[in-house]
Amino acid sequence: MREELLRLERNGRVAIIRLHRPDALNALSLPLREALRRALAEIDADESIGAAIITGDEKAFAAGADVRTMRDWNREDAATNPDLRGAWEQLCSGRTPVIAAVAGFALGAGCELAMMCDFIIAADNARFGQPEIKLGTIPGSGGTQRLTRLVGRAKAMDMVLTGRLIDAIEAERCGLVARVVPLAALMDEAVKAASEIADLSAPVVQLARQAVNHALESTLAEGLRYERRLFEETFALEDRREGMSAFLEKRKPAFRSR
């Protein structure tokens, strides 16, 4: 099932998950979500993997949820279906840094999936949106919450209330996207970034992710206290001493993730 719905590849210490429902623009059906959950769990359990990439194809990263499946749901179905958010919980709680490499459409649940990743690298043909309101519903996996924190209230209200799509340049300008690259260079850029992260100290990468994510959930004063505690934790690591020694000795550090 996983091979039909997604493809899991390896490039050095980088895992690449390719969503693969080309006939449906990689719409996130429940079986695809379960396959994604299992792939993410497999990656998290493999300590030889230092970073991961989620991507689709040139036409679509993921063009939303599987509306055909959800059309006849009632409220209880939406609240209790175990496959609806399992992949999201695995992604958001995992140890592995994840980059979204987005080409084509990232709409609805696809845009939400991209926002759950640590950051987004977009091809110049990418388009983002939360068009759920045109289907008589609203985003249900972070599309109102993460989007607002990333782009601000005005832009989020515009996108959520009108269902308007934005291109890659606007997405970068408003803070949704970290980088925009030519379509032909998308995967090379994503693999390069993921490889750079994978070569760093894994515990320090985790502390850095925790610190940045905490900034979205705290006041500045509390966030600064949290950052200071994590900064102090790095001084208990061998990798911190190695990194500083390598800098002073003008050599590449040999991190051992401890």
> In Å, what is the CA distance from 105 to each residue of 111, 142, 176, 192, 200?
8, 18, 14, 23, 32
Eight-class DSSP state of 3? H
pTM attached to this predicted model: 0.92
Q: Is the pLDDT of residue 1 over 50?
A: no
Q: Is the pLDDT of residue 205 over 80?
A: yes
Q: What is the pLDDT of residues 20-78, one digit of tens each?
A: 999 999 999 889 989 999 999 999 999 999 999 999 999 999 998 777 777 766 777 66
DSSP 138-205: ---SSTTHHHHHHH-HHHHHHHHHH---EEHHHHHHTTS-SEEE-GGGHHHHHHHHHHHHHTS-HHHH
Better pLDDT: 140 or 192: 192
How does residue 86 score in pLDDT terms, banded at 50, 70 and 90? Answer: confident
Q: What is the pLDDT of residues 133-169, one digit of tens each?
A: 999 999 988 899 999 999 999 999 999 999 999 999 9
Q: Do residues 55 and 19 lie in contact, with contact meaning Cβ atoms separated by under 8 Å?
A: yes
